[in-house]
Amino acid sequence: MPMPSWVDCAMATALFWARRTKCKHHQVGCCIISPDGELLGEGYNGPVRSSQHCIDPEVGCAKTDGVGPDRVKMRCRGTHAEINAITRASAHAGSLKGAYLVSTVEPCFDCTKAAINAGIARIYYMQPYTRVADDDPHTSEHENAIALCQEVGVAHVQWRPSGDFIKTLQETVGHVGQFAMPEVGTNETTESQGRGEG
């Protein structure tokens, strides 16, 4: 069986990171890797650091449930997976010049701009971003992102899983089941499950 590429490995990691999100609308994971496969940072879409998750009953989704006693509808409180991954990677690795961004969903136009400004050289995504641009009902953010990447020379690639990737992922998950897992319980250091990234 062929060895999975670094991008394949990063996409598998991003798929697991997407499982951390508590957003009821979108589950997105993202990894930043160096060209030689070093994992520099990762992220998922969710509220800002130390903020409550939107699925908490007293908080709710700002876009669909509204906020405050009058439940006024507002913009999403969450941060996109790509911004969280760029922020974490920058904090740990410093310069991201030449790095690859690997996301389960195509970055929106704003996240594409952030990736370019961070020095990302290649953007890989699995699913296209489908929201229509606010200022033009005929132009999608996908088209805007492609045009911008072409203008500045950043690769913008829709990643497609091969049969080998799917088989490897299934075998890996199955292989994990062969390990003797510790008894279910609490770890010495427990992480907060009710708060955002960080």
Instruction: Give percent of the chain above pLDDT 90.
Output: 44
Cα separation, 169 vs 155, in Å, equals 26
Q: What is the pLDDT of residue 132?
A: 54
Cα separation, 101 vs 80, in Å, equals 13
Looking at residues 79-84, what average pLDDT do you find?
Answer: 94
pLDDT higher than 90, residue 33: yes
Q: What is the pLDDT of residue 138?
A: 59
Record the tokens describing residue 158, joined without a space.
Answer: 């829709």
When comparing pLDDT for 79 and 54, which is higher? Answer: 79
pTM of the predicted structure, to 2 decimals: 0.79
